[in-house]
Amino acid sequence: MQNFELLMTRLGEGMVTTIWIFAVTLLLALPFGMIVAFGRMSKNVIIRNIVRVYISIMRGTPLMLQLLVVYFGPYFIFGMRLTPNSQNLAVIIGFTLNYAAYFAEIYRSGIESMPAGQYEAAAVLGYSKSQTFFHIILPQVIKRILPSITNEVITLVKDTTLAFSIGVMELFTRSKELAAAWSNVIPYVGAGIFYYIFNFVVAWIMELFEKKLSYYK
């Protein structure tokens, strides 16, 4: 009983950190991804190419490596001291930059899939460019890209385990500590159950959004 209570306490503490990483990353990466998507579609060649290189680097290198660079980079380059807050800041910056790149490409594919007739019809009706985008294009884009966004969001839940690489005590790290101390796999099984429930809830919520946005329901 005592071991069970300790297991639930430690895993609960780790789960709080995991949810924090997940929530803050989504809060920052979703809107930043839209900004990046606009840069990717910019008519300015310099901006478009800079954003293209950024997306290529974020998608072409491991997230764990990016976290290590963000965390240790300021120390090795500028001689800045590392603090406990440095870990949390590095996690948020690393995850946000990485996921914004993926979200940007999803946004871009959705926006560019819209027929040109949508923009022409809006212009005939007297809509400005911003009104056309936010009132006509964006609602349709969200509906189209939601399944892809859902996949990335579920992946984010599992990717939070990579925060252990810079010493952040999330769910996976807590379970690994307990498994090493007890010399059994029960903590890993417990962590797996936590992750599954978390992903199940996320998938259920995203499915509700999909049904709400369905044209035929």
**Scanning the structure block, which residue is given the tokens 């009983």?**
1
**What is the sign, positive or negative, of the torsion defined by CA atoms of 32, 34, 37, 43?**
negative
**Scanning the structure block, which residue is given the tokens 């979703």?**
30
Q: What is the mean pLDDT of residues 70-96?
A: 88
pLDDT at 198 over 80: yes
Q: What is the mean pLDDT of residues 130-149?
A: 88
pLDDT at 216 over 50: no
CA distance 180 to 183: 5
Which tops the pLDDT comparison, 40 or 130? 40
Residues 6 or more apart whose CB falls under 8 angstroms from that of 56 comprise none
CA distance 184 to 186: 6
Is 163 within 8 Å of 170 (Cβ atoms)? yes
Angle at which helix 2-40 crosses helix 171-182, to 10 degrees, equals 150
Between 29-33, 124-128, 213-217, the lowest mean confidence (pLDDT) is in: 213-217
**pLDDT value for 215:** 59
Single-letter amino acid code for the residue at 174: R
Is 174 within 8 Å of 14 (Cβ atoms)? yes
CA distance 108 to 213: 19
